[in-house]
Amino acid sequence: MTATVLVLVETINEYLPIIESNDFHVILAPTPAERAEAIKAHGSQIKAVLTRGPLGLYAEEIAALPLLEIICVIGAGYEHVDLQAASNRGIVVTNGAGVNAPSVADHAMALLLALVRGIPQTDAAVRRSEWPKVMRPSLGGKQLGILGLGAVGLEIAKRASLGFGMEVSYHNRQPRDDVDYTYCATAVELARTSDFLILATPGGASTRHLIDRHALDALGPNGYLVNIGRGSVVVTADLVAALEQRRIGGAALDVFDDEPKVPDALKTLSNTVLTSHVAGLSPEAAHDTVQRVADNLVEYFAGRPVLTPVALPPPTK
């Protein structure tokens, strides 16, 4: 029997035939209004939901989907999926950890280059018929700190070390024994050792506000911050103050606390580069992430183990 999949993600329409070709029926609901209407109108037939971390799937929505068996998350993060509610119902959760890592790493390095070399500011000046000559730091041989050395962090480290000859340090919950990069025990220690600090960790309670005033002061006035992880990893008010007071050199951000809302202070500062949570978006990444979802759905409904399960808490009921 064909299973109905509710798709909440707004950027993959071109690749939905990958799912449909595997005999799944797709209901597309990318806006909040469409999402609520789809759950109300079709909740009794939906067996799978496709979402992403910031969009999530909440306990009350899970409760309104009595046939729901599997939640598939595009990308690594699943911070707004109610894992406890899923566990209580025996619902399987999968993610796409690592699938879009090359695209995210490319964007991280692009943001770092644009920020450190002042590309947006110089571009704007030339368009105003100005011809500025401003000294900007180079990347070669500098110290790069990576907060979160998962699939994305590893891809960033590879680009930084092999492409730019940078020395790489990192902070994880635990040191890795399969890399030669330098481990730092805390985020503050990592910031202190870094010329450039890239945040590549998922969101959620365990990483919330890891980067606060102490970490930013450790990074210092010649240090630069790039965030392609989650906005929740940074205390935004502390970051704005550090940028305004030039206690750090600058920040390039692809993620924010309350997307798509971006604080006006970040928009008006001259030492920021801002993009709209697009690091993981590329034709290659979109195809591969949707293919991973399709593969997980096929495996699950065939009665086989899914490829990329998310660990769930014990049921509370």
From 35, 171, 277, 292, active-site residue:
277
Cis peptide before 309 (omega within 30 of 0): no
Is 200 within 8 Å of 181 (Cβ atoms)? no
From 230, 287, 292, 304, active-site residue:
230
Is 174 within 8 Å of 150 (Cβ atoms)? no
From 10, 60, 259, 284, active-site residue:
259
Could you give the angle at which helices 101-117 and 151-158 cross, rounded to 10 degrees?
50
Q: Is 292 considered catalytic here?
A: no
Cα dist from 208 to 171, 184, 273, whole Å: 15, 18, 22
Q: Is 230 considered catalytic here?
A: yes
Q: Which residues of 15-26 are buried (b: 16+ CB within 10 A; e: fewer)?
A: bbebbeebebeb
Strand arrangement, sheet containing 167-171: 182-183, 167-171, 143-147, 196-199, 224-227, 250-253, 272-274
Nearest-angstrom CA–CA distance, 109 and 236: 22
Could you give the angle at which helices 119-127 and 101-117 cross, rounded to 10 degrees?
60
Q: Is 171 considered catalytic here?
A: no
Kindly list the catalytic residues. Answer: 230, 259, 277
